[in-house]
């Protein structure tokens, strides 16, 4: 918690509090600020696993499919620009992580910092949840030992350390292929390890990867273990068709197998599907709690794009504004 907020009288009340600051949260902030709702954005805390302020785009390089940027734009730059745009219209942004929420009564109560505290740090009439999704890990014991020692969740951070080395990217979606392409600038060979025999990634990304002489594919392969005591020495791959195992010698492994919604905060209060995504009313951003709205990847397991997140953030802000108005009628 920042010192500034400690000295203010607690809890701090706002008409609208937005939790999360990716394209969805910041677009909601732009719209809510322009509707004179003076939103507070609780943006999150630094992290290297894509639940950081700015969201998943903070760990990417070129964003080529966000309309309006014919030459592409760097992910962190796009997010810095959205943040500046939200600030320009009066959105207040705090760098902290919400540790607890209580949506059982109005006004809604939110805690940052100590979740055990009896009194919340913030209260709000309406809450917009845009906490996004974070990278899923393989779930192997070796991961904890080797993260930072050849195992990475951030290609843009760590590619530099694998110059002229043979490495692997695990996954078959757009993020995996984007990472493979980026890493091929440094590595001598990048093997994309994918559990099926076809990719989920978009056609343009597939073509680029297949045309890239440094990228190879290990099809129908699951990572059974990561080898190495103090640094990565290889992967044990199990063939999903024949059940045979083999060793792929690599010094680096980048994990891009997908994302999991950041909904742990809401297990007791918001409806979610079996994968943990928040459930919203069809074609709307409303959740099962009146006055709580959800947007972006936290409620979208279908599209998961920056532009769809931004669009749903706009919807959430308009829904929140109309709901607040309806209460005062």
Query: Which residues are known to be catalytic?
Result: 154, 157-158
With the CA atoms of 263, 268, 271 and 274 taken in that order, what torsion angle do they form, in degrees rounded to the nearest 10?
60
* Residue 136 lies near other proteins (rule: CB under 8 A): no
* Residue 249 lies near other proteins (rule: CB under 8 A): no
* Residue 185 lies near other proteins (rule: CB under 8 A): no
Of 58, 205, 286, 298, which one interacts with other proteins (CB under 8 A)? Answer: 58
What minimum distance in Å lies between the beta carbon of 183 and other proteins? 13
Q: From residue 74, how far is each of 50, 63, 64, 159 by CA, in Å?
A: 16, 6, 9, 17
Of 88, 149, 246, 327, which one interacts with other proteins (CB under 8 A)? Answer: 149
Of 157, 204, 247, 279, which one interacts with other proteins (CB under 8 A)? Answer: 157
Of 20, 39, 53, 55, which one interacts with other proteins (CB under 8 A)? Answer: 53
**Sole window of 95-103, 117-125, 220-228, 316-324 interacting with other proteins (rule: CB under 8 A):** 95-103
Of 6, 13, 36, 46, which one interacts with other proteins (CB under 8 A)? Answer: 46
CB of 166 closer than 8 Å to CB of 184? no
* Residue 59 lies near other proteins (rule: CB under 8 A): yes
* Residue 135 lies near other proteins (rule: CB under 8 A): no
Cis peptide before 107 (omega within 30 of 0): yes
Q: What is the DSSP letter of 38?
A: -
CB of 70 closer than 8 Å to CB of 87? no
* Residue 124 lies near other proteins (rule: CB under 8 A): no
What minimum distance in Å lies between the beta carbon of 155 and other proteins? 11
CB of 44 closer than 8 Å to CB of 94? no
* Residue 56 lies near other proteins (rule: CB under 8 A): no
Say if strands 166-170 and 252-255 run parallel, antiparallel, or are unpaired.
parallel
* Residue 72 lies near other proteins (rule: CB under 8 A): no
* Residue 45 lies near other proteins (rule: CB under 8 A): yes
CB of 132 closer than 8 Å to CB of 297? yes
Strand intervals (E) in the chain:
12-19, 40-42, 62-63, 73-74, 92-94, 98-102, 108-112, 122-129, 133-135, 151-152, 166-170, 189-193, 215-218, 221-227, 234-239, 245-248, 252-255, 259-261, 292-294
Total number of residues binding other proteins (CB under 8 A)?
32
Q: Which residues bind other proteins (CB under 8 A)?
A: 1, 45-49, 52-54, 58-59, 75-76, 95-97, 113, 147-150, 152, 154, 156-158, 160-162, 230-231, 252
């Amino acid at each position: 918690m920042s010192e500034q907020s400690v000295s203010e009288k607690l809890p701090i009340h706002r008409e609208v509090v937005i939790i999360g600051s990716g394209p969805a949260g910041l677009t909601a902030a732009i719209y809510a600020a322009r509707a004179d709702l003076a939103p507070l954005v609780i943006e999150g805390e630094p992290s290297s696993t894509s639940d950081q302020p700015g969201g998943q785009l903070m760990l990417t390089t070129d964003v080529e499919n966000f309309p309006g940027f014919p030459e592409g734009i760097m992910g962190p730059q796009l997010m810095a620009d959205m943040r500046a745009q939200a600030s320009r219209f009066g959105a207040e942004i705090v760098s902290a992580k919400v540790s607890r929420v209580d949506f059982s009564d109005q006004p809604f109560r939110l805690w940052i910092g100590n979740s055990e505290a009896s009194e919340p740090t913030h209260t709000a009439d309406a809450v917009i949840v845009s906490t996004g999704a974070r990278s899923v890990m393989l779930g192997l014991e070796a991961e904890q030992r080797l993260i930072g020692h050849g195992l990475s969740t951030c290609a843009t951070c760590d590619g530099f350390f694998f110059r002229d080395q043979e490495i692997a990217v695990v996954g078959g979606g757009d993020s995996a292929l984007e990472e493979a392409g980026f890493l091929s600038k440094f590595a001598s060979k990048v093997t994309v390890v994918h559990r099926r025999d076809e990719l989920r990634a978009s056609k343009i990304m597939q073509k680029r990867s297949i045309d890239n002489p440094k990228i190879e594919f290990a099809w129908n392969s699951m990572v059974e273990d990561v080898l190495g005591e103090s640094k990565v020495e290889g992967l044990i791959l199990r063939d999903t068709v024949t059940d045979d195992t083999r060793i792929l010698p690599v010094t680096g492994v980048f994990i891009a197998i997908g994302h999991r919604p950041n909904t742990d905060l809401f297990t007791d209060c918001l409806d979610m599907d079996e994968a943990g995504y928040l459930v919203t009313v069809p074609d709307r951003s409303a959740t099962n709690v009146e006055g709580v709205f959800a947007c972006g990847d936290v409620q979208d397991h279908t599209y998961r794009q920056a532009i769809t997140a931004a669009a749903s953030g706009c919807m959430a802000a308009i829904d929140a504004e109309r709901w607040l108005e309806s209460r005062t009628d």
